[in-house]
Structure 1
């Protein structure tokens, strides 16, 4: 059993720690939240990881700390997506599939994003994302961190990103190549830790 012992580390504006990193949470959230936030230690890990990337390359962050309403909206979006994609699936099967990609919006097992300990990111260079997936694969196939069906070029791009983030101390969720975290309960589960140090933060103070 994993316990959460909140360390009360603050959320910080990622761009104040990592000024070169691109932040894009989507138009609606950027208008409301202006930027992205992570726990201080995690933001510093991203800064160290960026230093390991080849010259001219950085990260683009598509999600970091996430309010509860966003977590609920994401779950609904996935349910709608899989329902349309797989009309023959039962509701229970759809929910089970969605839960592989979307954590709960409350409780002990709430999304790591809601703790400020998780980040979704990809590589960025010369004003665009570096290819990390294939149009020939399904969402689920592309999402897997280790996907042998990808071209060597795309696998090399992923390895560049993975190596930098691992060296900085972050841990990957293997069903989503873009999702990395530290300190939250899902990080603790993946790494067989008895204690998680980040609990849910409901509001930016």
Structure 2
């Protein structure tokens, strides 16, 4: 084990009821496009490519999040790039993802009751909420979904697909279930360690059930950092109407 690529520590799942009670400071930090970043940061808006209703063909994040993504990207070994799959997410997309996973789980296992279905769904998709005091993480512009690609643009092996709703997607899965030999699972473990390390060193926290999900400035970040308040509440993408209204005073 290389000291520069240490094991991923295990963390408990968030207590969402308590997460939603963390005070939101609020910030006027704007949403900025990641597609204009240097080549070390690549952008692949996954939900727009899947034609999910309401998805934006850009990955928008808060300005400070953008700066920290660049820190993480520049810490990767030469030839590797950080890939942003999703950032700020419209409420409509959050609702769609929640509803489709909920129904998929219900169809897959009819024995699950409503409470179990809700818990299983929230493992991978947070409740859709535009509440200024308890917004869904991706609605704040502080949550990002990321992975790593090589110089040819091929995604590194991570053991599961992005958004694969299985226990193997838990960030520390290969730490708790060590690969038996030098296999693709060993490669996935090492790649997850690399992603977790560069993102953590750039100031992000990770959602334990998703190796791809990281936060900065939202309530989930505040929960795992022990911060007294979150920096970001809900954000909205500028429209031409809002731009005109601001310019006209």
Shared fold (TM-score, shorter chain, > 0.5)? yes
TM-score (norm 2): 0.75
Alpha-carbon distance, 1:66 to partner: 0.3
Q: Can you list the C-alpha shifts for 1:18-49, whole angstroms capped at 9, x where unaligned? A: 44413223323699633110000001111110
Which of 187, 193, 196 is the matching residue for 1:159? 193
Alignment of 1:13-162 (within 5 A): 13-19=33-39, 20-26=41-47, 27=49, 28=51, 33-106=56-129, 107=131, 108-125=133-150, 126-134=152-160, 139-148=165-174, 149=177, 151-162=185-196
Task: Give the match for residue 202 of structure 2.
Answer: 168
Task: Give the match for residue 4 of structure 1.
Answer: 24
Larger radius of gyration: 2
Structure 1 contact 10–39 (Cα < 8 Å) conserved: yes
Distance 1:53 1:30, change over 3 A: farther
SS in 1 for 2:46: coil
Distance 1:62 1:203, change over 3 A: same
RMSD of aligned alpha carbons? 2.1
Whole-Å Cα distance in 1 between the matches of residues 122 and 115 of structure 2? 11
Distance 1:118 1:92, change over 3 A: same
TM-score (norm 1): 0.90
More strand by percentage: 1
Structure 2 unpaired stretches of 5+: 1-20, 180-184, 240-249
SS in 2 for 1:69: helix
Question: After the TM superposition, which segments of 4 or more aligned residues of structure 1 sit over 4 Å from their partners?
Answer: 29-32
Distance 1:190 1:86, change over 3 A: same
Structure 1 contact 65–119 (Cα < 8 Å) conserved: yes
Whole-Å Cα distance in 2 between the matches of residues 200 and 76 of structure 1? 20
SS in 1 for 2:61: strand
Aligned pair count reads 203
Distance 1:200 1:18, change over 3 A: farther
Task: Give the match for residue 201 of structure 1.
Answer: 235
For structure 1, which segment, 105-114 or 47-56, has the greater mean C-alpha deviation from structure 2 after superposition? Answer: 105-114
